[in-house]
Every structure is written in C-alpha cells, then in structure tokens.
Structure 1
Amino acid sequence: MIQLKVVYKENESIIEFGTENILIGKSNDAEIQIKGWLISQKHAMIKKLPAGYVIEDLDRGANGTYVNDSKVDIYGPLLEGDCIKIGKYKFTILETNEPFHHSNEQSEEFQNNIRDTQSFDNKEKSIQEEEPVVLTNVNKPIETNLTLFRDTKLELEKDMKLMKELHKKLVETMDLERNDISNMSDNELFETASTCLNKIIDNDLTINRTNIERIKKLVLNEAIGLGPLEQFLSDKSVSEIMVNSASEIYVEKRGKIFLSGAVFSSDQAVLDIIERIVSPIGRRIDESSPMVDARLKDGSRVNAVIPPLALKGPTITIRKFPEKRLTVQDLVDMNSLSADMAEFLESCVLHKRNVIISGGTGSGKTTLLNVLSNFIPNGERIITIEDAAELKLDHDHLISLESRPENAEGKGSVTIRDLVKNSLRMRPDRIVVGECRGAESLDMLQAMNTGHEGSLTTLHANTPRDALSRLETLILMAGMQLPLQAIREQIVSAIDIIVQQTRFACGTRKITHITEVTGIEGNTIQLQDIFKYNKSGYNDDGVIQGTFRSTETIPSFYQELIDSGSEINTDYFNL
C-alpha cells in the first residue's frame, strides 16, 4: 500500500492505493487523473517492485517528472517524505508500508535506472500551464475547485440506480394520487413531491439509508426542478453551465471552465428538464425541431439540442443572467473600460449615434448592450427585438418583442427580420436589436438611415474591420442583389461607432477598441480608433495587463455637436 498527499494550489487531499501499478496523466484510465497543457495522457507510472515502489516517467519529453526537485526517468524506492512534481501538481509520499531505505546495498541494476537531471526550480519557471480542469481519483475523494467527487465509481453507480428507482416511483405515486400540479405554486409542488417521496422511502425497507438525504434532494431537484443544475444556478460565482451529456456537466467559474462532477440519472431526465424549461414560454423541442433557444425565469439564456443532432445525448447550455444588473460604473470597477470611455459612450448614446457592439461568443456584448441602452433618456419610445428576451431596461416607454420559431406544421415563424420591419410602423425613437445574424441586418441599416438614429445592436466579429466585413455578408444574405459599393455606402451612412468587446484567455472581458466610421474612399470604408486597449502582458496569476488610452483623435461628429450648442467634454482627447 502507498499513501500520497496531493496538492495543487489551495486543493489538498490524501489518497492511497493497494494496486501494483498507478497511472498518472490525462487519460480516463488513469488512477490519478490530472489536467493541463503540459500533462501527457500517460505521464508517469508508480510501480511496485521487489525493492519497493518506484516512479517511472512515461512522458519522455521536455515536461518530465521530478522527484525531490530533480528530473528523473526512473526513481526509487520511494520513501516517506519524497516529493514528486508533475507540472504544478505535487505528490508527497506519506506511507509506503515498505521497510526499505536508500543505501549502498540497493541492487546495481536498480541504481542504474535512476536518472537525475536539471533542477526542478529552473524548469518550473519555464512551464506555463492551463488551469487544470479536474483532478479526480476513484479510490479516495479529492477536493477540486468546484466539487467533491464520489469515493468509488461503483458507489456512484449504486446511487444513480437508486435515484432512477425513486424518481420513477415518485412520478407514479403522484399520478396515482391525481395531484393537479398545473395549478400548484412552486412551494406547493415541492411540499407535495417531498411528502410523496418520504412515504416511498418509509414504506420500502430495502432502500439503503446511506446518504439518503442527499439522494432525496437530487431526486426532488430532478423531478420538479432542474436536477443537478440547481446547485450551479444558485452559485453566484458560476456564469455558464454546459451539459454535454447526462454524465458530463461543465461549468464556467470566474472565467475558467471546470468539469463539475455532477450528473443526471439518465438522458430522459435531461430531456424532461429541457421540456420543463421551454414549455412555459411557448417553445417546443422534439425530433422534428431538435434545437431550441429559451430563457429561465431570471432571464438566463438557454440553448438545448437533442438527438438525433446531439450524438452524446441531450445537451443544455445556460448563460446565467446576473442577479445584480450591471451599471457602467460596475464595468469601470471591473476594469472592462476606463471612466473616459464610459463617458464617451454615454455621450454617443445621448446624442443619437448609431452604435454596433462587436465581439466573440461570451465576450459580454449583451451585457454592454444592456448598459448602453440604459443611457437612452427615459422619455423616448424604445423597441427591443430579440430571439430570447434578455435585455432589462429601466424605461417607462418600452416595448419588448421576441421572435417565434415555426410550429409543428412548419408554419407560424416570426423572425427577427419580420419584427424589425414591423417595428418601423410602431413609431420608435430607438430600435435595439439583441443581435444581427442574418438578413435583418439590411432592415436595421435602413432603419438607421431613415430617421431612427441612436439605434443599437450587436454583431459577432473579432475586430472593428471584421465587423464591417461580416455586416456586408449578412446584408448579402437578404437576397436583394445589391452591388457591394451600394452596401458599403449604406453602412457608412448608417453606422457611427463600433465598440469592440474581447474576452481574453484569462477570462477577463474588456473593450479593446472604440472606433468611428468616418467615410468611404474608393472601395474602402475608412475607420479611426478613438480609444484603444494596449496590452502589456500577463501578471503572475495569468491575468491580462494593459492600459486604456485615447488616440487623441477627436470624433468627426463632435464638431456637429459643438456647432449645435451641445456641451461636449473633449478633455480625454488632449493627453
């Protein structure tokens, strides 16, 4: 038997093995599974030999395995106090139950296998690894950044089997008792289901009472709530939940993605929860329509895909809606933009400049759109148009429109483009479109060009220049066969400001460009940066560092505002 203490940053656990071979690496077959860019699938192996336990490096590359700060190929016998380092993981030998000591009497053959090379401290400085996704072991629990894994796979399987049985009996019991759950409040439904479940458990003496309270909670969550997702929805530090399959749930926490260790009892349980999410808002999902966009009661965005499109089983992606509605000051405090940039963007919205927010998935476009929309004066008539309503505006004169997918007969679809067209007949002062991703881009440009200044929307693109190229492509999707020159002239006439939002590898989100569209020269749209984020590197924690700077270029439309008598602050352009 060998006992080790495993340490990664704040995480520390004790594990022990009685097996002769202990594989360490990324592989799912590894007895000690660790993650990281520089970790191999089969990185190292602890073996039990007649002379004692030894560790063999299987990586054979530059990353290596270290014992007591020296790189090794094979090292042993391992003694109490020996320290093994692989990447940023540290394994300390606590006990081996082998009464061997390092001495000159160790076999010559064994000694010849020991390879010592350069110091680990020098090597460690050159290693830059990705934050580990998960550290698991099936024999002893190891505390990860997010969850505590079960003691053994066998015990987990037993729990899953019991959960399935209790879930099935609970549904049957509530059906037999003819409970009308449609008219129950959430609290009444929970009390009824909890009472039924307690009766089932009390009447069945064969049920194992070990961890029964935890299993009861999981069954109730799965039967009337959102199952194992409930714990993540209530965790304020979790920003995104990704269900890849019933047994594979990832979460994003503080900008990093982790395997949670939580599981559903079956694929059917995932399907039931998807149905529970989409039904109240009039959406549907089935084999004829296997994809759906929806939202939770708190406004969190939900996307679900089911078989036959999802090969591993039903998938759910939830972008959580923050409990506290962010303000521009919150973004400044989080260093997403500077105070000068915030003041400039507020001025753009107040003076009815047309703004496009550009960025990648998860970069914070919708959050920024919500913040900028709240700069619109309260007396103006605003129409918001979205696929799934997420924007939360504090305005009295507000109309929120939401698109609708087609029904089972393939009819009844109402697209974003239909809503944009219709909104022009609703006497809007401002039109706010959640995202332009198709032919509605042409209608949005037409609206901006025909008296609806100060409109806002978002677009998927990596740079301000890419945003214009993508906008051209989306307009061509409208099928109007417009010449490219005419499209570009429409864009220049309609768009005033492009705000580029970027999410960096460390998880932080920043506005990297505020760019003005100044005109067209030949076939090229002219842009000029007003503000930029200048990167200077990463700190010791891997967080991006840099500064927000004005380019000292005064926007061309500022002169119009000054001529009209508007009070405009230009101090941040005189650095």
Structure 2
Amino acid sequence: MAVLERVRELVEQQVRTAIRNDGLDPLAQPDKFRAVVEQCAVEVWIAHGATSAEGDPAFVAREVMQIFAGFGALQEFFEDPTIEEIWLNEPGRVFIARQGRSTLTNVVLNDREVRDLVERMLRVSGRRLDISSPFVDAVLPDGSRLHVVIPDITRKHWAVNIRRFVMRPRSVDELVPAGTLTTQAANFLKAAVVSGLNIVIAGGTQAGKTTLLNALLGSVASHERIVSCEEVFEMQLNHLKWRNTRNNHLSDNRIHDIHRLLLASAGISCTKGPCAQTGTVGRADLPVTR
C-alpha cells in the first residue's frame, strides 16, 4: 500500500508540472490530458518496480485524473445515481444522503484538498469565492448545485454542500408514478399552466421545488415565449423561445426588481430565487407567472 501511495504522489507531482509548464488544461484537452497521465503512471510504476500484487498503473492513472479533471475523493459519489446530497462541515467528515437519510462516509480530506476541489468546481461557473465574497452558489456541469461558505462566516473550515438532482422529470405526469403527485393534482397543475395562472412554488431545502418547476415548464406550449431570471442556472428547457437572464452579482432585491420588469413583457416569465422582500415570510423559491 505504501508503494502504491508513493507512486500516486509522484504521478500527481509530474502531472502538476506538465500542467504548469506545458499549459495543459485537463478540462479543455481531456484526451491529451489522459494520455499524459497514463504515460506518467506507467513510467513511475516501472521506475519503482511496483508489482501487480500492489495494483496497476491504470488504477493510479484513474485516481490522478479524478484529482485534476474530476472531483477527487468525491468522484465516486457523483457516479452513484442514488446519492442525493454530499456535504462536509470539516474536511475529516464527509456525509452523503440517500432517500433523505444521511450517512457518514469513510472519506477523509484535508483543508488543501477541499479548497482545490472547490476551486475546480467553480472554474467553469464564473463564480468567485474569497474574503469579499465568503459564500457562493453555483451549478456544476452535471446539474448539481454547489453551495460553499468560508471563514469568517464559518468558524474554522470551509463548509461545502452539493445537492444532486436524482429525479429529472420533463413533465408533471412523470411525477405521478414517483408518488410525488396524485393524478388529480398533476392534471390540476397542468391546467393551471395552460390557463396562464400565477403559480408560486415554496418549500424547505431539498423539498423538490426545482424538480416541480422543471416538470411544470414541460406543460408550456411550444408557441409560448418564456423569459426566466435565476440566481443560479437550474431551469431545464428545450424551448424554442426561451431566454434566460442572470447576473452573477445580483442581490436578491435586484432579482425581484428584474422580475417586476419581466411582468411587463409578453409571454411567461419565471423568476427563481429567495423571497427577500418586506412582508414575505419564509422562502418562495420558484414563482412562475404569466
């Protein structure tokens, strides 16, 4: 085991050097990156005289690729379709949730690994995280929602939460077999959308607000025009007349100002975000209005 760990460390060092010196981008050049990692793994494996009893270079290459192009020690959780949520309040305690039940995993990270993971996750989102912006929401390439808070908002460690959308229905009807809605409720909601009624979807964290919104939007007729405004891109629409607007630095109140402007436009407007207006109680994440 010690030999395997040493080989992995050396391969990781060589790959870091290649990225720095050759300008290799693991995300933009996946094939070239994979070839470099596999070659490094074989060369280091042979140089250290590692044997098949200790593993194989392909295993080392996969681990190193996950560090740079995947999500490192968390990658296995992203590949498990049953996992709904991943979170950690400190590096040594990583939790996952399946069917609403949380479990402490045997994954142990350190502060540097957590920061590297978060930076890699944020790279494609355009969001930033620093002292002036100590918390962030972003959407990962697979559609998962990332929320990170750092000190001094937290006491000591970076707090990371990743919410994955296990269910991705494209219509309200698909929620009936899942037990989310009755047939009567589904028919009522479809009729409400078709009739252009105002709909507010509200609920607690991970209650299924985004899932229901995306299902409702599946009932919008193809000739309708849709304009949406979100804090984080989560709406899923294959609509010919869909326009999504978002600014990374909009405050909650600013989003509501834009929503009022959307009300004057023709078609269906959707605003997704927390209700922060005076007189609003709780959280109404997904207003849909026409």
TM-score by length of 2: 0.83
- Find the aligned partners of 1:341 and 1:203 in 2 and give their Cα distance: 65
Partner of 2:24: 180
Change (3 A) 1:219 1:415: farther
Query: Are residue 286 (structure 1) and residue 125 (structure 2) matched?
Result: no
Q: 1:395 aligns with which of 239, 252, 275?
A: 239
Within 2, Cα distance between the matches of 1:203 and 1:186?
26
Instruction: Count residues with an aligned counterpart.
Output: 286
| Structure 2 counterpart of 1:434 | 272
Segments of structure 2 that go 5 or more residues without pairing to the other structure are none
The structure where strand makes up a greater share of residues is 1
What's the TM-score, normalizing by structure 1?
0.44
Provide closer, same or farther for how the CA distance between residues 367 and 431 of structure 1 changes in structure 2, counting only shifts above 3 A. same
Cα 1:241–1:328 change in 2 (3 A) is same
CA shift in 2, pair 1:419/1:278, >3 Å: farther
- Aligned partner (choices 227, 230, 234) of residue 72 of structure 2: 227
Larger Rg: 1
Distance 1:236 1:470, change over 3 A: closer
1:310 is displaced (CA, Å) by 3.7
Residue 205 of structure 2 is matched in structure 1 by 361
Larger mean CA deviation between 388-397 and 185-194 belongs to 185-194
Q: CA deviation at 1:368?
A: 0.6
Whichever residue aligns with residue 170 of structure 1, its letter is V
- What is the CA-CA distance between 1:342 and the residue it aligns to? 0.7
Matched, 1:168 2:13: yes
Counterpart for residue 268 of structure 1: 112
- Give distance in 2, aligned partners of 1:289 and 1:402: 18
| Aligned CA-pair RMSD | 3.4
* 5+ long unaligned stretches in structure 1: 1-154, 407-411, 443-467, 475-493, 497-575
SS of 2:224 mapped into structure 1: coil
> Match of 1:511?
none
Query: What SS does structure 1 have at the residue aligned with 2:133?
Result: coil
**Corresponding residue of 2:258:** 419
Counterparts of residues 444-455 of structure 1 (less than 5 Å): none
Deviations 1:105-148 (A, max 9, x none): xxxxxxxxxxxxxxxxxxxxxxxxxxxxxxxxxxxxxxxxxxxx
Relative to 1, partners in 2 of residues 1:203 and 1:384: Cα closer, same or farther, differing over 3 Å? Answer: same
Q: How many angstroms apart in 2 are the aligned matches of 1:310 and 1:212?
A: 41
Deviations 1:492-515 (A, max 9, x none): xx999xxxxxxxxxxxxxxxxxxx
Q: Deviations over 1:255-276 (max 9, x none)?
A: 2111222233x32222122112
> For the Cα contact (< 8 Å) 1:293–1:304, is it kept in 2?
yes
Cα distance change on mapping 1:215 and 1:386 into 2, 3 Å: same
Q: Indicate the structure whose relative CO is greater, using CA pairs within 8 Å and at least 6 residues apart.
A: 2
Is the CA contact (8 Å cut-off) linking 2:147 and 2:161 kept in structure 1? Answer: yes
User: Residues 260-296 of structure 1: CA distance to partner in whole angstroms, max 9, x if unpaired?
Assistant: 22233x3222212211221222111123322111111
Letter in 2 for 1:329: D
Change (3 A) 1:363 1:251: same
Aligned partner of 2:32: which letter?
Answer: E
- Give the secondary-structure state (helix, strand or coil) at the position aligned to 1:282: coil
Moved over 6 A (4+): 157-162, 206-209
- Which residue of structure 2 aligns with residue 562 of structure 1? none
**1:49 match:** none
Is 1:381–1:397's contact at 8 Å kept on the other side of the alignment? yes
